[in-house]
Amino acid sequence: MIAVLAGGVGAARFLRGLMLEVEPQHISSIVNTGDDTVIHGLHIAPDLDTVTYTLAGAIDPQRGWGLEHESWTAMDALSRYANIRPLNSHAAPTWFNLGDKDLATHFYRTARLAEGATLSQVTNEIAQAWELDLQLIPMTDDSVRTMITLAEDCAAGSAGSHISFQEYFVKYRHSVVVSAITFAGSPVAKPNGLDLLASAESIVIAPSNPLVSIAPIRSLAGVDAALSARRDSVCAISPIVNGAALKGPADRLMSELGHESSVVGVAKIYAPVCGTLIIDHADAHLAPAVEAQGMRCVVTNTIMNSSHVSAELARTALEATR
Ligand code: FO1
């Protein structure tokens, strides 16, 4: 079995390539759920859905989240209530966009959880409905929420206060300065997939944000120990290319939290648990600095602008761990 630790868009594209190299039945992906949130009473699991929709060929390719050919009738109708909502009410928020077809997934997930199903069971069911043959495993069935601590007073709140990841990412468009990231619920949450990490032939850390996509998985009890025990079988793909994130705020978050925003910064974060770091040709000159962190370094094309590149990257990752 090939195990993949996954966040959202970068991981989804990597998995799409891996599925061209390995039978999907031999792939299991442990997916971040720290981004999960409850909106309109619905359980939203953005990374699980981004992976599911991408692998089903149904993702909106421009946005990188939600479904293609989407309509927004329910969202438009919500705006009627925006002006009458009392000041202290959070009812009917319109800052988080849920497309009409996407809503069906959240209706199903929420109803099944209310019936007592676990998030793992519901995730399996949703993957089955989208005819996926790989296994998607939420990192835990318990509630773990990525929380962002504000570094300074701003529209989102006062310095030192906390906002949820989706408020940070969507409502404030990751434009506020961050002083810490924490994972509420993590110390008591039971991780999923530890047995997979112990037995998998190869473990790949997808090119996802190390601080908000992979760190929530690593924060769970036993995950870092399971990875470091297999360090030579673990490889990571840097989501930072030429000092910048391909998507999202990884580069800014790394700088704000005292990490170097470069493949060397990524290497320092992953060195305890991972034997090989795959970096892009654009960073080839930094390979010796990566190796100085005690990791092997493989230089290749990591910019997955076609499924051909994703498949080649997957092949490189598998070779690196064998
Ligand atoms: N991202 C946005 O930038 N704006 C949105 O309104 C938004 C809605 C949304 C709804 C469902 C879903 O599964 C994802 C959604 N995302 C949206 C993306 C998502 O919140 C982030 O990309 C991830 O959490 C970061 O990995």
CB atoms under 10 Å from CB of 82, counted, come to: 11
Within 6 Å (CB) of ligand 1, which residues are found?
A: 7-8, 35, 44, 46-47, 49, 65-66, 96-98, 102, 166, 169-170
- Which ligand 1 atom is nearest residue 47's CA? 26
Cα gap 128→255, rounded to integer Å: 40
Say how many residues make up the chain: 322
Q: What is the pLDDT of residues 232-284, one digit of tens each?
A: 999 999 999 999 998 889 999 999 999 999 999 999 999 999 999 999 999 99
How far does residue 203's CA lie from ligand 1's centre (Å)? Answer: 27
- Tens digit of pLDDT for each residue in 155-198? 999 999 999 999 999 999 999 999 999 999 999 999 999 999 99
- pLDDT tens, 84-129? 999 899 999 999 999 999 999 999 999 999 999 999 999 999 999 9
Domains of the chain, first to last: 145-184 (no CATH), 188-321 (3.40.50.10680)
Q: Which atom of ligand 1 is nearest to the CA of 166?
A: 20
| Pair type for strands 202-205 and 2-6 | parallel
| Tokens of residue 182, six digits | 């924490």
- How far apart are the CA of 233 and the centre of ligand 1, in A? 32
- Residue nearest (by alpha carbon) to ligand 1 atom 16: 65
Q: Tell me which residue has its CA closest to atom 12 in ligand 1.
A: 46
Q: How far apart, in whole angstroms, are the C-alpha atoms of residue 33 and residue 183? A: 10
46 alpha carbon – ligand 1 mean position (Å): 6
Which protein residue has the closest C-alpha to ligand 1 atom 9?
97
Atom 18 of ligand 1, residue of closest alpha carbon: 65
Whole-number pLDDT of residue 247: 86
Cα of 62 vs centre of ligand 1, distance in Å, is 12
The separation between CA 187 and the C-alpha centre of its own chain, rounded to angstroms, equals: 19
Can you say whether the dihedral through the CA atoms of 226, 231, 236, 241 is positive or negative? positive
* Whether the Cβ atoms of residue 246 and residue 266 lie closer than 8 Å to each other: no
Q: How many CA atoms lie within 13 A of 294 on its CB side?
A: 10
Instruction: Say yes or no to pLDDT of 322 above 90.
Output: no
Q: Report whether pLDDT(67) > 90.
A: yes
Rounded Cα gap, residues 210 and 163, in angstroms: 19
- If you search the block for the tokens 């010796």, which residue do you land on? 288
Q: Which pLDDT score, from 0 to 100, does residue 243 have? A: 95
Q: Record the pTM.
A: 0.97
Among protein residues, the one whose CA lies closest to atom 22 of ligand 1? 65
Per residue in 275-307, pLDDT (tens digit) is: 999 999 999 999 999 999 999 999 999 999 999
β-pairing, 37-39 with 42-44? antiparallel
| Rg (alpha carbons) of the chain, rounded to whole number | 19
Tell me, in angstroms, the distance from the centre of ligand 1 to residue 122's CA: 20
Tell me the C-alpha distance between 16 and 23, whole Å: 11
Q: What is the pLDDT of residues 18-58, one digit of tens each?
A: 999 999 999 999 999 999 999 999 999 999 999 999 999 99
- CA of 169 relative to ligand 1 center, distance in Å: 8
**Neighbour tally for 96: CB within 10 Å:** 16
Give, using CA atoms, the residue closest to atom 8 of ligand 1: 97
